[in-house]
Amino acid sequence: MAERSTERRHTLSNGLHAVAAAEVLSRILVGQTHALAALPAAFDAITLAARAGAQALRHGGKMAYAGAGSSGLMALADCLELPGTFGIAPDRVPMLFAGGVEALLHMQGAPEDDPNLAQADLDRAQLSKGDVVLCLAASGATPYTLTVAKLAQARGVTVVGFSNVASSPLLQLADMPVLLDTGPEIVSGSTRMGAGTVQKVALNMLSVLVAIDLGHVHDGYMVNVTADNAKLVDRASRIVADVSGTGIDGARAALILTDGAVKPAILVARGLTPQQAQDALAESGGHLAPLLT
């Protein structure tokens, strides 16, 4: 384990316990900033993974997330946001988290070493050929995550592996390896820090690329959101008004006609009927751009 880059001593760790609070914070910030510098080298890999995820979702498949401990939490954070942000059905983006809900309330190390849990979680997610699973492990050697990857691969699922250690077992196994070479942590081995931050940013990048590919983002707006609470009704109204070029009252009226769905409401605000809007979106593959010229 000591040979892993994430377990080595950071140059700024020395004397961390004895310096002033402001210096501790400064060193942590430097560590986080340096970790983020690992991302550009992974852009091509993230892009390929996003294309695979979008293709799976476009054809009715799934883009699952899998992980344990801190890496699992980063995966879970991205996974849970996709339905609300991009309107992707929750059953299309299942989460495989070592230990399940109980582990979220009281984190324990044992579940990440249990291959039987991985088998059960994979069965529950019902992944099959054509699906994609995003497997995250800072060390790239977590037994739970490796087992998910191996079993999923055997079922014809495309495995995307995110690891912060070069040449790790997960990266060697994955169909699409994504190396996030963040190096040592300010608190040695605490991969919830630099490694975790960069994992979350990488997933932010991937999921936005997926959403753009699916037509769920237009001009920086989350146009596939469905307004189902007061905050989202207000946001959806502003999106419809801005993209359609109509006033806020017209936007709200259009949203009523589309049951809060933003994309068709934009077209309704521009003069189409709800049915015409749905037909046009089906023809364009869900993309607004060709319909707004």
Class of domain 217-291: mainly alpha
- The answer to whether the Cα torsion of 62, 63, 68, 69 is positive or negative is negative
Q: Is 7 marked active-site? A: no
Per-residue model confidence (pLDDT) at position 116: 85
Q: Which residues of 50-89 are buried (b: 16+ CB within 10 A; e: fewer)?
A: bbbbbbbbeeebbbbbbbbbbbbbbbbebbeebbebbbbe
Q: Is 81 marked active-site? A: yes
Per-residue model confidence (pLDDT) at position 111: 66
* Domain locations in the chain as residue ranges: 40-213, 217-291
For the chain (length 293 residues), average pLDDT per consecutive 10?
A: 70 90 96 96 98 97 96 96 94 93 63 81 96 97 95 98 96 98 90 94 98 97 84 91 94 94 96 97 96 91
The pLDDT tens digits for 69-94 are 999 999 999 999 999 899 999 999 99
Q: Which residues of 230-250 are buried (b: 16+ CB within 10 A; e: fewer)?
A: eebeebbbebbbebbebeeeb
234: nearest Cα among 245, 221, 248, 220? 248
Per-residue model confidence (pLDDT) at position 181: 95
Catalytic residue among 23, 81, 102, 185: 81
CATH 3.40.50.10490 for the 40-213 domain, yes or no: yes
Catalytic residue among 3, 102, 112, 283: 112
